[in-house]
Structure 1
């Protein structure tokens, strides 16, 4: 016996594929497990309040945007980085976990990218990877680089809205 009603069924919609003309046209030193750089490698999907989809293109330091209203893909931002994670703040700014650059901010309208947090004290990060933003505006992010079971020196940080950083 169930005391709750069944949840509504949500039918997923398939988005159009990213057009090949938006694949990166530059070289990358990032190498996949196959030993090559793929023409595109997407991670970190997130959406804004309008339903637009944002994803990062890891090897090529880009953020792609799918505008739901006009059903069109575009390159929102392009820089010399290796973005992995992506989240959106309440003010609409995208927070980017970039393996090479640390935490970055990207304006979701103009695509302007700027540094948010590139170091802990004077030390660079090992390689920032994933992140999430709490309801209090705190940014939790991983900094594992290439660590694993044999090198357990990776860390998880919390960046408070006032700039205080906890490990």
Structure 2
């Protein structure tokens, strides 16, 4: 039975609802998550003074942090000594997801918002030699991506809406010649991740606030009874995600300024909050990356019109990153 608060309004006799520390602000922590282990991340690098959208962080073989300036159509590189440069500019596409191949190539999921299509492209580490992997004419809206152990690529298709689930998760074969549907009928499929053994696929639905857990018999075949909705999110939507070496999953909560952490079974076990979220700042948390060989977690976000720009925040994950090049 819900507890009853007999607070009075002023000195009168009318029972009154009142804001408190747990309910003030635009995105209070839902009651079911208030008891989770919670840490507050630290500012690590101010990327822009304006609220440009950051997305898709991923580490390359040299320890550089790659990430996207979505509106500017750029993939950026931040060196370990925090020097920022542009890797590549995409013509009329907004890059959103990144994954680094074992040979060093950078695979980019990018959207053409005006035409509601997108592409997966690959470039060399210096940004040259662009190769189209999933062309715009295929009709997908690639949003995020992850490699499997064979070098095949899963990508999410961001099409659809809460009442019109046109998106899904697709698999590009290691030779980049075949695209296969793995998990169809999703509403704005967004984040995608794999368990350390590659036998479980995770995906988020941005438009229906869902976390999917999929057991795989092989790269493109779901086991019998192998799909489940592991979690229903509350409030603004789940965005991109990453897994660690223990199989834990980290999901960026867009417009909530935080990251939710789940264990290998999809049970919430912790959260990382971004500074200023109680006052409505740094809420547009889109994605994160874990530095290889460590449990250092880097979260990208922007403050929109709030005046605090676009920033990368730092905290520590439960476990170390997955091996950077586990695909053989």
Answer yes or no: is 1:41 the counterpart of 2:58.
no
Q: Distance in 2 between matches of 1:60 and 1:50?
A: 25
TM-score (norm 1): 0.71
Cα shift at 1:150: 0.5
Answer yes or no: is 1:152 the counterpart of 2:181.
no
Equivalent pairs counted in the alignment come to 133
Tell me the residue number matched to 1:129. Answer: 143
Cα shift at 1:124: 2.3
Rg comparison, structure with higher value: 2
Task: Please provide the CA RMSD for this pair.
Answer: 2.1
Query: What is the 5 A alignment of 1:16-165?
Result: 16-18=45-47, 40-68=52-80, 70-80=81-91, 81-100=93-112, 101-108=118-125, 110-112=126-128, 113-119=130-136, 123-125=138-140, 127-145=141-159, 147-162=160-175, 163-165=177-179
Please give the secondary structure, in 1, of the residue aligned with 2:47.
coil
The runs of 4+ residues in structure 1 deviating greater than 4 Å are none
Q: Distance in 2 between matches of 1:130 and 1:95?
A: 10
Structure 1 or 2: more strand by fraction: 2
Gaps of 5+ in 1: 1-11, 21-37
TM-score (norm 2): 0.38
Gaps of 5+ in 2: 1-40, 113-117, 182-328
Greater RCO (Cα-Cα under 8 Å, separation 6 or more) = 2
